[in-house]
Amino acid sequence: MQSSPAPSSVCNGSNKRLSPLALGAGGVGNLLEWYDFGLYGYFAPVLARLFFPSGDPLASLIGAYGGFAVGFAMRPIGAVVLGTIGDRIGRRFVLMLSVSLMGAGTTAIALLPSYSSVGVAGPLLLLLVRMFQGFSVGGEYTGSVAYLVETAPPHRRGFAGSMANIGSTAGVLLAAGVAAVTVTFAGEQALISWAWRLPFLFGGVLAMGALAARRRLREEAAALSRVRELPLWRAFRHDGRMIGIAILFTAGYGVVNYLTMVFFPTYASEFGGLKESQALQITTLAQAFALLVVPLAGLANDTLIRRRTLLIVAFLAECVAAVGAFWLARDGGFGGFAMAQLAFGGLLALVMGTDPAMLSEQFPAEYRVSAYSLAFNIGLGIAGGTAPAIATALIAATGMTLAPAFYLMLAAAVAAVAAFLMPDRSREPLA
């Protein structure tokens, strides 16, 4: 028979208030996580030249993006280890640990010697650092969501959980801004020589600020697992079906996320004739729009609409709009792509403001971080991380430029069905 923690403020405290410190400290780690991942992506061409030199620029770029993929591959392993720490030792401890590890990894990239300095050791060190970073973020997002949801009043869990995605969206925007400033003012020679290191060093400064904020958080002892059995093993024994449903949900969500906000601007520039700079400008605008919608979605699913209903509606809308949006990106010019990308940004923001609380509420406190971390990182990390490559392969294999739209439809439908299969506990006490 499953044991549960004694009722506490973590689960049932209607007298709790939203803590600005908790909201900020929870979101800042995700800002750092996505600042780092975004920065690596934006500087991939520079890193390709420095660490993966080749007579073929495309081969060099593939090498650099291989480091990007390695980071995603390590996330499920980090989820298991850091999830266990979060359930056994404490949410506050794992949040401090993850942000320290992320900061160390980001700073390490800034200090790495290039291929011209140490030969093959340079790219090997870069890949090792990326593996280390991927491991460290395995429990960051889910650990922060668990803390935010557990410390929030029952009628504000959706809004509190949405802070994690506000942090992640802000991180991508910050990375884009810092990369743009560096490239604009450094010049080609300085950029390759030393200036590319500065944004990564700035990531280390962000990590120190995040650590200082998280040191002030209080631990919720009642949320910890009090049994000897490993939390993840206990989760599989008691909630194996729900973990499977959560993986299906996060896999569909991950594909939708990466196709609409990462692959879509590339698609518009490759098949729609847009300049790459134009496509990225519109995508940045869509990210900024999403930043405004996410907290509104969190408030809405706390008071106006059930979380499950909002998720199903958002994913069904993605499914219905997929073909038309990709057609606009291909044939609609600048205005058509802008309309489609902003629509995708708004729909994704509805999910980002809802899914953190929804998924956290599926698991009891004693193994919440372990179960949530594993499901999230398998779905988002593996299915989501491979989505752009699969979409490109579908075009090559079928000769249909709209093939990615049908992949998006499938993913959105899977996420909608998985959301339907999850019980809606948005108005119930937190277990």
Q: What per-residue confidence (pLDDT) applies to 2?
A: 42
381: alpha, beta or left? (left if phi > 0; alpha if psi -120 to 50): alpha
pLDDT above 90 coverage of the chain, percent = 44
- Average predicted confidence (pLDDT) for the chain: 87
Residue 118: strand, helix, or coil: helix
On the question of pLDDT at 160 being above 50, the answer is: yes
pLDDT in tens, 24-75: 877 888 898 888 877 877 787 788 888 888 766 656 656 666 666 677 778 8
Q: What per-residue confidence (pLDDT) applies to 225?
A: 54
Higher pLDDT, 97 or 66: 97
Please state, in angstroms and as integers, the Cα–Cα distance from residue 152 to each residue in 146, 157, 162, 369, 389, following that order. 10, 6, 12, 16, 39
pTM (2 decimals)?
A: 0.84
Q: What per-residue confidence (pLDDT) applies to 430?
A: 87
pLDDT in tens, 241-270: 999 999 999 999 999 998 998 889 888 988
Q: What is the band of 173 on the pLDDT scale with cuts at 50, 70, 90?
A: confident
Q: Domains of the chain (ranges plus CATH)?
A: 10-224 (1.20.1250.20), 226-431 (1.20.1250.20)
- Cβ atoms of 175 and 203 within 8 Å: the answer is no
Higher pLDDT, 140 or 195: 195
What is the separation, in whole angstroms, between the first and last Cα of the chain? 15
Q: What is the mean pLDDT of residues 343-371?
A: 95
On the question of pLDDT at 3 being above 60, the answer is: no
Q: What is the band of 156 on the pLDDT scale with cuts at 50, 70, 90?
A: very high
> In angstroms, rounded to a whole number, what is the distance separating the alpha carbons of residues 186 and 194?
9
Q: What per-residue confidence (pLDDT) applies to 303?
A: 94
Q: What per-residue confidence (pLDDT) applies to 151?
A: 87
Please state the φ and ψ torsions of residue 114, each to the nearest 5 degrees.
-85, 175
Tell which residue, 69, 117, 96, has the closest CA to residue 390.
69
Higher pLDDT, 5 or 361: 361
> In angstroms, rounded to a whole number, what is the distance separating the alpha carbons of residues 373 and 382?
13
pLDDT in tens, 176-230: 888 888 888 888 889 889 999 999 999 999 999 888 888 888 766 555 556 567 8
pLDDT in tens, 101-113: 989 999 999 999 9
Q: What per-residue confidence (pLDDT) applies to 36?
A: 85
Q: What per-residue confidence (pLDDT) applies to 187?
A: 80
Please state, in angstroms and as integers, the Cα–Cα distance from residue 194 to each residue in 39, 207, 358, following that order. 15, 21, 44
Please state the φ and ψ torsions of residue 52, each to the nearest 5 degrees.
-130, 60
Q: What per-residue confidence (pLDDT) applies to 127?
A: 87
Q: What per-residue confidence (pLDDT) applies to 226?
A: 61
3-state helix, strand, coil in the chain (%, to 5): 80, 0, 20
Q: What per-residue confidence (pLDDT) applies to 364?
A: 93
Q: What per-residue confidence (pLDDT) applies to 231?
A: 87
How many Cα atoms are found within 13 Å in the side-chain-facing hemisphere of 210? 30
Tokens of 302: 């706390």
